[in-house]
Amino acid sequence: MRQLQLGSVWVLVLASLAQPAIAQSERYPTATELQQLAQELRRKIPDLQASGFYSDRRTFEEWQERSAYAEAWADFDPAIAPFLGEWTAIEESLYIYPATARGGVCVLDVYLDESKFYTGQVRDGKLYTDQNQVFFLDDNFLGNASVSENQPSLYEYAYPLPLPNPSEELGQYYSETVTAFEASGCLVGLPQ
């Protein structure tokens, strides 16, 4: 019986470590916390790649389409371009679209049967959201830094895919979130 209890404790611990970004962070991480989390992501990348959960499963065409989209936006708003795309994690996708304001983005965060819409602003190479989260890049990985119970934490996404049209591909499942996205004037296509 003790072994069974210990096993269920480990399941709870592992589940708590793989929490998605749906919850709002208490505050933005400090500069020191961000630096520590960036170093943590850098150390974890080889293990993440070896895990099988974070393998690059993109086709060449998907890689090419997302790269062309980011390059087109780089000419118009270079700060946001590297963040644009559908970033995936174990059971979550983060869709980062351009916003109408320069340096701004719109985020659709989809986790199993839940979704959330929020906005963000890129400053000094990091994406600060209105949920007190900070996203930062390390090659093909996107780190999500947040704070819960005054403890900074990291959640990883990888290998950005091309962005779908949200109303066509996500609207039937996450209608309220897509409605909020559309009402905020978020952009889907190439810059005009």
Q: Quickly state the pLDDT bin for 7 (edges 50, 70, 90).
A: very low
Residues 83, 109: Cα–Cα separation, whole Å: 14
How much is the pLDDT for 18? 45
Average pLDDT (38-59) is 94
> Taking the model in full, what pTM does it have?
0.86
Q: Give pLDDT tens digits for 125-174.
A: 999 999 999 999 999 999 999 999 999 999 999 999 999 999 999 988 99
Task: Tell me the two tokens of residue 22.
Answer: 């749906």
CATH architecture of 22-183: Beta Barrel (2.40)
CB 20 within 8 A of CB 92: yes
Q: Quickly state the pLDDT bin for 120 (edges 50, 70, 90).
A: very high
How much is the pLDDT for 48? 93
Percent of the chain past pLDDT 70, that is, above it, reads 88
Q: Please write down the long-range contacts of 187-191, taking CB distance under 8 Å and 24 or more positions apart.
A: 187/97, 187/98, 187/99, 187/100, 187/106, 188/97, 188/163, 190/69, 190/72, 190/73, 191/72, 191/73, 191/75, 191/76, 191/77, 191/98
